[in-house]
Structure formats: structure tokens, C-alpha cells
Structure 1
Amino acid sequence: MKLMKKTLSAAVIAVSVSAGAIAGEKSEQKSFTMGDAWLDGKAETVLLLNENLNNFAIDTDVHNGVVILSGEVESNIDKRLAEELIIGIDGVKKVKNKLTVANNESLGETLSKEYTDTKIAAVVKTRLLLDREVSGTKIDVSAQEGTITLKGSVKSGAQKDLAEAIAENTDDVEKVVNKLKVTG
């Protein structure tokens, strides 16, 4: 009888501990769900409050503290901005950025074109300054998308043509617009 009481007591304790563990496990799952829901709401709010992003084009989903961004943004800057805003939220463990960029031209391409134009203009200006036959100090050089524009004044038609030829023979120049005036 004593043995039966001990066995029964052990069984009751085992069932109680198991039930407590199961309840604790369910409670733990519930807190992850509640935490994820809170993070999702916080992420949506952060995106909504940023005036540079279209919150309605960005979807958020949260699983165990990992925020998944999906949808479409206008540029790579917007994509990075959304990610940086979300990673800054307390409780976010990681951001999986699955946003797509609607604009085909990336920031890198834009900066590369601007850099190339600046470089071309500088090379043309340097070549004009180093040439003994052209007064490069009186010639303004600008570049846009591979097109060089020359403005200013030169002393002769030959200098005007020479300045244009120097610009045309510079690497990466696609076209030259010669607005130089001959002042004699």
C-alpha cells in the first residue's frame, strides 16, 4: 500500500510538472506572438511616420523578432532607409530586406554618371589650360551625360575650332556644344 501511494504521488507530481511545462511553453509561444505583433505595429508606425517613404507600398512581417520587409520602393536609398529605420527598433533581432526597387536606375549609376561628367569636364578644362594655342582661362567647361559645353571667349575662329577639337578628342566625350565667342 505504501508503495502504491508513493507511485501515485510520483505520478501526480509528474503530471503537475508536465502540465506546468506545457502551460509555460504555450505562454512562451504566446509572448513571442504578442512580441512579434508589437514589433510589427511598431515597424508599421516607424515607416508611416517617415515622410520620405511610401508606407502603403511596404509590407512588414515579423517572426521571432526578425522583420521581413517586402513590397516596392522608388530607389535603393529608400530600400536602405526602410531597413535602417526598422533595425533601430528595440527588440528587432534582424531585418530581411526583400524590397524591390521600382526605379531601374540605381543611385550608384546616377553617382557614376555625375562622377564621369565631372571627370570629363575636368580633363577637358585641364587640356585647354595646358594648350599654348588656346586661352583656357577664359573658357568655361561643363558636362552633362557625356556632352561637353564650351562657353566663354577666344581670340580667333581657329582657337574656337581648336578648343572644340581638344574637347572632342577627350575620352568619354560623346558630343561637344561650342558656344565660344570670338572677341578678336
Structure 2
Amino acid sequence: MKRIIPALTMTVMTVFSTPLLAEGISASPTQSATDDAIAGKVEAALLFSGQFDTMDIRTDVSKGQVILTGKVNSEVNRELAQEVAASLDGVVSVENKLDVVKPALLEGDLVTLLHGVRDAQMVSLIRTQLLLESGLSGDDIDVHALRGIVTLTGKVESLTERDLIIAIAKNTDDVVDVKSELSVDS
């Protein structure tokens, strides 16, 4: 027992003093956690701004200093990314290494892309409205869109519920037409 206590004491002292000795070598766990939180805030702010494809931007943070690398589609977005990052709490400085890359899309590809984005926005809006509408079983309804034409499929409990779902879809921005494949449970 007399040998165990000194050995245990030495082990505990070694474990707790190692971070103090290595302080100059690496960031403390608290600093690392703070840097991770800052990186998360920067990435979230860039995502929610709606101006960036955040899959193309990498965010590294060390002691509050943010380094942005990757690519954006314009000089304006390059500067905006820096401003967004610099405006957040905890950011000491921003080093902007973003490259401006013009996408090489053909006109037809761009039109197809824009239709796809618009269709995805419509589907998202309709699904959200269905989930927020009290008395609807909106999670049982599938919503698809192609070039502004929305198709609704699934089962509803009544004709009234079906009509309400169709009306919600028709009243959503950019919807050209609604095709209902909704069936009423008996």
C-alpha cells in the first residue's frame, strides 16, 4: 500500500502537469474548443447567408484567426465571405485565401440548374406549410416538382384535407400547376 500511493501520486501529477509543460507546443483544450466553435459559427453564417456553396469553402481557425480557403464565384462573394467571418464574436482576424472561379456553364445547363433550384425551393416551402398547418397529416404526403409542376402523392383522411393540401400547393410562389395523386382513406 505504501508503494501504491506514491506511484499513484506521481501518475496524477504527470497527467495534470503535462498540459502545462506543453503549453507552448499546442493550443489548450479550451482554445481548441473555442476555435472549433468559431469555425462552426463562420460556416453557419456563410451557409445561412445564402450566397455561398459552403461545400467549396474551408474554414480553419487558430487562436481566433480565421483562414478561408476554397473557391467562390465572384469577387463580391470573396469580400462578403471575409466580412461575414470578421463580423462574428471571437474572430480576431480573417485571412482570405478564397479563389474566384467563374463557373463554366452552358446556357442550357444554367436554365436547368435554375429550374432545379426553384423546384427544390417550392417543395421545401410546401412541405413546411403542410407540417405547420394544424390538423393535417403533412408528413404522410410526398411532394415533387418539375419545372413548376407540383405532384402530390399519399393518403389523406378526408376530401377536405385533400382540398386544403392542394390549395396550399397552388398558393405557393412559382407553382405553375398541381397534380394531385392523393387518395382518401375510407
For normalisation by structure 2, the TM-score amounts to 0.45
Q: Which has the larger radius of gyration?
A: 1
